Amino acid sequence: MRAKSSEAVSMSTESQFSQVSYVDIGPEQAGQRLDNFLIKILKGVPKSRIYRLLRKGEVRVNKGRVKAESRLKEGDIVRLPPIRVAERGEMPAVGRQLKQYLADNILFEDDGLLIINKPSGLAVHGGSGVSLGAIEALRAEHPELRFLELVHRLDRDTSGCLMLAKKRAVLLALQQDMQRNYIEKRYTALSKGRWPKGKNTINAPLRKNTLQSGERMVRVDASGKASVTHFKSLQQYPSATLLDIKLETGRTHQIRVHCQFAEQPIAGDPKYGDEHFNESLKPLGLKRLFLHARYLRFKHPLSGDWVEVEAPLPADLEKVLTKL
């Protein structure tokens, strides 16, 4: 089979590769690790199978054996052996309501970047029992985009600013800026009780743990990764505090675990929250985690201009505040 673009190969993985095929690497794929590239285009093939093919030398680049961590370059030719790919069902259709929401909640868009106001309850991607996430829905709604990837993640129950890259160069640049803390990310949250005066920063390392049930939990642990969160009280209520929160690092569940560590858990948090506090807010209409990714400020990788994006607090959370 003659060389084809990686986009064409990824579209063909719904059936079987009955013969050797070759893939041309274009500018959007240049710089990717070989293993990550294969995992992306060979959807339906177990990772263990992909790594076995690499170890045995059945996948080649420019006719030579290569390691999984090798970086691809524009113009490379990747040889793929005959591979049986599991048949996948059709991607669930994007419902009319979600289609309309996504169309109405674009906060920023240009040739390299898309930022949406993600609703609470929508996962950023499918998997683990979730058939359709934000990235799949957006790809389905924008088939003209050859490249669309998540720059970062938000918890399923967290609403607000979500960045997606339309170019690989934008993706890599923004992810690097996040690692260097060059992107300002601010959240709005409602926490239990009165936030302690003077507690402006929590610097507590976090470690991920997986329970026997498979559920992922995060806790403060001296052996964990460095994690820093900054807090500012915006409004005091009889039983809660409205907070402006700035992330210095971006660990999984960081804000939620740091609030729990401060003994001021976030309202509506089923995993790290206070059950009695959560129950007391249900009559006020709180049916979700009160955590909203409100604001982003960053330098655009293509133009070099500073970009500021703000997602207004959702109406359901505003209503809760009026009843406190």
Active site residues per annotation: 155
For residue 68, the tally of other CB atoms under 10 A from its CB is: 15
Provide the β-strand partners of residue 223: none
3-state secondary structure of 295: strand
Give the burial string for 140-175 (b: 16+ CB within 10 Å, else e). beeeeeebebbbbbbbbbbbbbbbbbbbbbbbbbbb
If 0-12 CB within 10 Å is exposed, 13-18 middle and 19+ buried, where does residue 22 land?
middle
- Report CA Rg, the chain: 22
Contact in structure between 252 and 216 (CB atoms under 8 Å): yes
CA angle in degrees (0–180, nearest 5) for 45-140-117: 110
Question: What is the distance between the alpha carbons of residues 112 and 59, in angstroms, rounded to a whole number?
Answer: 31
Taken in order 194, 199, 200, 201, is the CA torsion positive or negative? negative
301/312 Cα distance (integer angstroms): 25
> What span, in angstroms and rounded, lies between the C-alpha atoms of 251 and 220?
11
User: How would DSSP label each residue in 242-254?
Assistant: EEEEEESS--TTH
